[in-house]
């Protein structure tokens, strides 16, 4: 999952309802790179790519940060469409 945390977090953010659903994109520098995840309105961490690290991510040290675009990016749209297509097959 290395290198995919931004698009994973962005895609999940839009799939789950974004800011209106109480989700906050959050980042930290960990093991030499910037890492992205979401925090929900109850403070729960939603991190689809945490397994890329050798050590636990110190989530409590993360800082809320907005994504680069308001609407889903082209990469996030690909992931969102793939998830929706897979869901349609289920």
CB 34 within 8 A of CB 27: yes
pLDDT in tens, 57-68: 999 999 999 999
Q: Under a CB-based contact definition with an 8 Å cutoff, are residues 28 and 35 in contact?
A: yes
**DSSP 8-state code for residue 3:** T
DSSP 3-state of 81: helix
**Is the per-residue pLDDT at 27 higher than 70?**
yes
Q: Is the pTM of this model over 0.75?
A: yes
Does 90 have pLDDT greater than 70? no
Burial classification of residue 8, based on how many CB atoms lie within 10 Å of its CB (0-12 exposed, 13-18 middle, 19 or more buried): buried
Of the listed ranges 11-15, 42-46, 63-67, 84-88, the one predicted with least confidence: 84-88
Between CA 52 and CA 72 the distance in angstroms is 23
* 36 confidence band (pLDDT: 50, 70, 90): very high
CA dist 43 → 26, 33, 37, 79, 89 (Å): 11, 23, 12, 25, 32
């Amino acid at each position: 999952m290395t290198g995919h945390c931004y698009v994973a977090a962005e895609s999940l953010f839009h799939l789950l309802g974004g800011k209106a659903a109480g989700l906050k994109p959050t980042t930290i520098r960990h093991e030499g790179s910037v890492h992205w995840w979401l925090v929900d309105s109850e403070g729960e961490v939603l991190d689809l790519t945490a397994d890329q690290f050798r050590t636990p991510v110190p989530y409590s040290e993360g800082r809320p940060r907005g994504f680069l675009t308001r609407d889903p990016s082209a990469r996030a749209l690909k992931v969102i469409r793939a998830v929706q297509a897979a869901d349609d097959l289920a």
